[in-house]
Amino acid sequence: MLCAAARQWLSFILFGYYAGRVQITSAVLDEIRYRTKPRAENSGWMQSAASEAVRVIGLRPSLVDDSEQYDAKIFDDVHRRLQSLAEAAGKAVGGNRHTGEAESIARCVALVKDGEKVIFLTNDTDASRVAAEHRIATLHFGSILQELVCAGRLDTNRASNLLQEVLQHSGINPGAIGALSCLASGGSCLTCDDLARRL
Ligand SMILES: [Zn+2]
């Protein structure tokens, strides 16, 4: 989820650069809506970021993939696996937890089966691991910032500042994120090479 200070600006950039290429499933939207509510588990920061996300998504209804076209068995397998990883790590389980991630992964699997190119965006290590088990590639917020730097939409300083803000609220492993600079003019840039392969 986007950090409070930068969310408005960044959602503009994200949906601008990735316009027509980003979708969220209806279960994820339900989770975001839940996060807008004043509950003990929803910090003030979270409620504010979630409310902004709901507002932005409301402006672009095509962002929501509500087709629910996926294999129910894959959804169940993914959901169970996410719950057991959470349980093993001593995290809270039960209720509607992980339904958004499970639906997203199941939907990615269905799209890949239909021959689509799909990348699952998540900052959650467990979700990323389970997606990989289903051969779904993932990116996290740090990779998105790197792509925006390579695309000339963000400079390195701004990207690094945004990343520092996000790391206060997210489970991304900072060690997995590079310098957030584009090396295309100075040598081989892994992100640029990778983008060229994927796009
Ligand atoms: Zn680059």
Q: What angle do CA 121, 54, 51 make, to 5 degrees?
A: 110
Kindly give the distance from the C-alpha atom of residue 180 to the centroid of ligand 1, in angstroms, as a whole number: 9
Full-model pTM: 0.85
What is the rounded CA–CA span in Å between residue 78 and residue 75? Answer: 5
Residues with CB under 5 A from ligand 1 (ion): 150, 182, 184, 189, 191-192
Backbone conformation region of residue 172, classed left if phi is above 0, alpha if psi is from -120 to 50, else beta: beta
List the chain pLDDT tens, one digit each, 199 residues: 444 445 655 665 666 788 888 899 999 999 989 989 998 888 888 888 888 888 888 888 888 998 989 999 999 999 999 999 999 988 877 777 899 999 999 999 999 999 999 999 988 889 999 999 999 999 888 888 888 888 888 889 988 888 887 777 776 766 666 778 888 776 678 888 776 666 5
CA of 191 to the centre of ligand 1 (A): 5
Distance 199 CA to ligand 1 centre (A): 14
Identify whether the C-beta of residue 32 lies closer than 8 Å to the C-beta of residue 50. Answer: yes
For residue 53, the CA-to-ligand 1 centroid distance in Å is 28
In the reported structure, the alpha carbon of residue 87 is separated from the centroid of ligand 1 by a whole-number distance in angstroms of 38
Ligand 1 centroid to 178 CA: how many Å?
A: 12
SS (H, E, C) 107-139: HHHHHHHCCCCCEEECCCHHHHHHHHHCCCEEE
**What gap in Å lies between CA 8 and CA 16, rounded to an integer?**
12
Ligand 1 midpoint to CA 119 (Å): 18
Q: Could you tell me the distance, in angstroms and rounded to a whole number, from the CA of residue 73 to the centre of ligand 1?
A: 39
CA neighbor of 141 nearest in space, from 159, 118, 154, 158: 159
